[in-house]
Amino acid sequence: MSLTRPEQLKHMTDPPPEGVNVPRVPYAAESVPERHYTHHEGRGTTPHRSNPKVVHREISTLDVHEGMNVVEFGTGSGYSGALLAELVGPAGRVTSIDIDTYLVKWANLIHHERGLGNVRCHVADGTAGFAEHAPYDRTVAWCTPLLLPRAWVDQTADGGLIVAPLPIAGVPNMTVVTKVRVHSGEPTVEQAFNGGYIEATASPKTDLDLPGRWVDWENRVPAPSWISIAWRNSDDHLHTGARTTLARLLKDAHTEPYEGKDIDWPSWRTFAASLDDPQLTMAGLSPNLWAIGHTTATTAAVLQQDGTIIADHPDSPSLTVLRDWLSAWETASRPAPETYTPALVRCDDGRENAGWNLRLTQ
């Protein structure tokens, strides 16, 4: 399992030339063989990886400097950890956490093959942080927790930064990436922008087509489908509300095209989440197509990514609400995720995963 080219073993031992403004992350990336991590000849291709451009964006936002102590949650292929190791240099340390033992073992081996001694990967539940090497100057997550964990804030040094995807509603796939500054143990969002990663789960996730949480009912025959209802707390133990709502959207449903222009999904998704409506619903009714809308115990209407509106009836009350939401979205000129005002709301109700929920407002 040798590297394909000897020059791939080099490290960013020299900083950019003095007086030359060179972005540090792209400069570091020149020394890290990305495909050696994501398509390693011994381990094979890992599906648990993100677009390198997005990885570079998040690490650039993290503002890492030499000598820092950094933790990442979500080891993946090991590529992001290698980039961080280049940025902190020999005097710094990178701790990488993942729930997947297989990924951790291979990432440690690949780092060792390349001679990286300042990054170490560990198997653990990242939502609990990793107190052993805390406090951390920088914290970055490549997986989406249920909320901003109290442990991440407690284990970040005063003045330190957290860059992580956070949910903006209690249904899947509604996230933004946040830049959070910690002062005196309190987090403040400095920036929020479009993006998201796989949900943080208590065990390795094998089905990458199904959300990792908040799936209130799923069908596997005759074809896979699922639904997530923000009103799940009022449903019964048989999930009757979620089950029948999904059935209404799948069988003998009313369909119509959305009359507006092509759907800007990140904008529409963020707008729907910002409404903070308890009847908000996310569903997967067709392969590779998500849908967002309004449902109750007796009515349902959603808009799919392809611009198809699906409802239980042409006169459905939920369809009226959905049309009102879409009209308000258009009136607001389809705001970008970056234009919302983010706020962290403390959630300390005795749960182990207490922390802060993120909410966006116009």
Active site residues: 50
Q: Which residues of 124-151 are buried (b: 16+ CB within 10 A; e: fewer)?
A: bbbbbbbeebbebbbbbbbbbbbbbbbb
- Taking residue 358's Cβ as centre, other Cβ atoms within 10 Å add up to 25
Q: How far is CA 91 from CA 67, 85, 87, 119, in A?
A: 5, 10, 10, 11
Alpha helices, H only, the chain: 24-29, 34-38, 52-62, 79-88, 101-113, 150-154, 240-250, 265-274, 317-331
Q: How many residues does the chain have?
A: 362
CB atoms within 10 A of CB 335: 16
DSSP secondary structure, 193-205, as one string: EE---PBP-SS--
